[in-house]
Structure 1
Amino acid sequence: MYLFDLLRYKKMVKGMIVDIPDLYTIDDGIYDGACDALLIKARVRTIIENHRIKSVELIEHVNERGAAAEKMIEWINQEKKFNVGMIAGASNSCKVMLKAIENSLKSAS
C-alpha cells in the first residue's frame, strides 16, 4: 500500500503547478487553504492587507523529511512576497505549502 501511495504522491507533486493569484485582485482578509499530496499535507492561513501579504501562518505540515521547508514560510513573512526560493532537500514540501497558499487566495476570488 505504501509503495502505491508513494508512486501516486510523486506523480501528484511532479504535476503540481503553483500559480499564486494577483494580490491586486484579493480583498483584505484572512484566508485559509490546504493542499493534500498524500504523503505531504499543508494547511495555511494567509492574511492580506492593502493587496499585500501581511503574514502566512503554517497551521499544519505533515511530511516525512521536509520539515526544513517550514523555513520558507518565515522567508515569505520577512520578504512579504511568495517568490522566495525553495529549500534544498525539501522542495516537495515547499511546493505543497505554496499550493496551500494559492488555494487560500483562490478562495478569496
Structure 2
Amino acid sequence: MADEFLPKNKQFWKSRGNIRFSQFYKAIEKLGLRTTQPNSGSSHYAIRKPNILTNGLESFIINIYEGMSKQANGDVIKCLLEYGIKEDELIKALKK
C-alpha cells in the first residue's frame, strides 16, 4: 500500500500492535461501517462499506480477526484510511 495512507500521528502508528480485535470491532460500528461473518467455520469478520448492502467483493474493505499481528493491524489501519476514514476519527473510535 502507498505511504500516502500511513498515519501522520507517529505515536498511533507505533502503538498499532496494542490494538485489540474488540477495539477494531467497536470502532467499525462507531465509524458507520458494517461487519459480516460467515455462518460457519470462520472467526474472521469482514469490514464492509455501509452503502453497498450485498456481501460481495464490491462492499469488502478488509478482514479483522482475534490475535492479529502488529503488521495486520497496520494493514487494517491503512485500508480504513484509504477507504476515506479520517485519522483523527479512527483514533477516537479506537479508544477504549
TM bucket by the smaller chain?
A: 0.3 to 0.5
Kindly indicate which of the two structures has a greater share of residues assigned to strand. 1
Alignment TM-score, normalising by the size of structure 2: 0.34
Write 1 or 2 for the structure with the bigger share of helix.
Answer: 2
Larger Cα-atom Rg: 1
